[in-house]
């Protein structure tokens, strides 16, 4: 089951390790890097490297505590945001292609 979820997350441009860490956070609720490391079998330093990307994607938040706690944004909200970003990127790409096409036609 979890492997299926990892594959689905890969379609959203997750790496395998990002997917594993994200799923762990979603399933754990508020958690710490040590717990994520134990569950995912990934080194702590690798998790520390992955967290900023997940945070930038709008999927997790971190507290300012020492050590900090990590929590997933509600999955429906997080993926609606990801899909909207992808839709915007696609629309921008199509607009760019259409403009290039018009410029080429005008130049010929």
For residue 31, list its beta bridge partners: 70
Quick one: 45 and 85 in the same domain? no
The CATH number of whichever domain residue 33 belongs to comes to 1.10.10.10
Quick one: 51 and 99 in the same domain? no
Task: Give the range of the structural domain holding residue 93, as residue numbers without chain letter.
Answer: 74-108
Quick one: 58 and 87 in the same domain? no
Quick one: 65 and 83 in the same domain? no
Structural domain count of the chain: 2
Give the Cβ contact number of residue 48 at 10 Å.
Answer: 12
> In terms of C-beta density within 10 A (0-12 exposed, 13-18 middle, 19 or more buried), how is residue 60 classed?
buried
> How confident is the model over 40-91, as pLDDT tens digits?
999 999 999 999 999 999 999 988 877 889 999 988 998 898 899 889 999 9
Quick one: 26 and 65 in the same domain? yes
Quick one: 16 and 65 in the same domain? yes
> In terms of C-beta density within 10 A (0-12 exposed, 13-18 middle, 19 or more buried), how is residue 65 classed?
exposed
Can you give the pLDDT at residue 3? 79
- Three-state SS for 71? strand
């Amino acid at each position: 089951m979890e492997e299926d979820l990892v594959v689905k997350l890969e379609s959203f441009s997750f790496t395998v390790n990002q997917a594993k860490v994200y799923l762990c956070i979603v399933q754990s609720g508020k958690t710490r890097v040590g717990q994520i490391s134990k569950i995912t079998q990934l080194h702590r330093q690798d998790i520390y490297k992955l967290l900023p990307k997940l945070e930038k994607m709008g999927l997790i938040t971190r507290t300012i505590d020492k050590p900090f706690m990590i929590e997933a944004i509600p999955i429906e909200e997080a993926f609606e945001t990801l899909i909207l970003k992808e839709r915007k990127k696609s629309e921008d790409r199509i607009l760019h292609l259409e403009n290039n096409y018009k410029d080429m036609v005008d130049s010929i």
